[in-house]
Amino acid sequence: MGRMKTKEVNYVELTALLIAIVLFIVSVILVIITGNQLTLDYYIGFALFSSSLFLYLRHKKSYVIVFTLTLAGGILNLYDPFVVKLTFSLIFLRLNITFIVLSIAFIATNKDLLDSAFPHKSSLEEEINLEKKREQQKIQKFINQYQTKSRKDLEYITQKDSGYVNEAKIAAQQVLNNLDTAEVPTKE
């Protein structure tokens, strides 16, 4: 029988999430043992941590985005699903130390995943430059092909509704411009 192929789990990438889950489980157990009620924060924490874990296993790029937002919400103290509430105030913000530490662990152990989810500007610039280079290569290829075409054929290619790709139109226009330059008589 065929075996299902499972994705390999990288526990280093999951370090921050696993720590958060352990802290969450310990917190829930302590709340139940002490006879207190689970607040909305615990349910929010459960939903966010479990969805982050599910997304890690299914779609890592979404995991990075969801867990980053989970950590950001925790840092800003929008929710705190842990029994020990470690916070400090900074101007008008109340920040959660536990989530700051989890964020540092997340960033330290997920550089590759973070780069794939939030590419650096230089990576985007490289892609744009590569695309421009490909476009220039296509145009040059068309220019080489169009050297023997008649002026009438070149003018047809440059028309808006000719059906030719944009690179072909640009190449045809450049060949026409070169023809015009070559045909201009020089004054001596």
The answer, yes or no, to whether residue 75 has pLDDT greater than 80, is: yes
| Rounded Cα distance, 140 and 163, in Å | 19
DSSP helix/strand/coil, 93: strand
Cα–Cα distances (Å) from 162 to 98, 140, 176, in that order, read 63, 19, 16
Which pTM was predicted?
0.59
Q: What is the DSSP letter of 13?
A: T
**Region 83-107 average pLDDT:** 90
Which tokens is 86 given?
Answer: 């470690």
The separation between CA 71 and the C-alpha centre of its own chain, rounded to angstroms, equals 17
Ranking 94-98, 109-113, 115-119, 157-161 by mean pLDDT, the lowest is 115-119
Model confidence over 46-66: pLDDT tens digits?
A: 999 999 999 998 988 889 999
- 65: its two tokens: 């985005």
Q: 61 is written with which tokens?
A: 């790029």
**Residues forming beta bridges with residue 90, ordered by sequence position:** 93
When the pLDDT of each residue in the chain is averaged and rounded to a whole number, the result is: 86
Dihedral sign computed on CA atoms, order 14, 38, 89, 47:
positive
Per-residue pLDDT tens over the stretch 141-181 = 988 998 988 889 888 989 988 888 989 989 989 998 988 78
Report the share of the chain in percent with pLDDT over 70.
91
Crossing angle for the helix pair 15-33 and 40-58, nearest 10 degrees?
A: 150
Whether the per-residue pLDDT at 6 is higher than 60: the answer is no
Contact 57, 9 (CB under 8 A): yes
Q: 123: Cβ–Cβ under 8 A, 6 or more apart, which residues?
A: 115
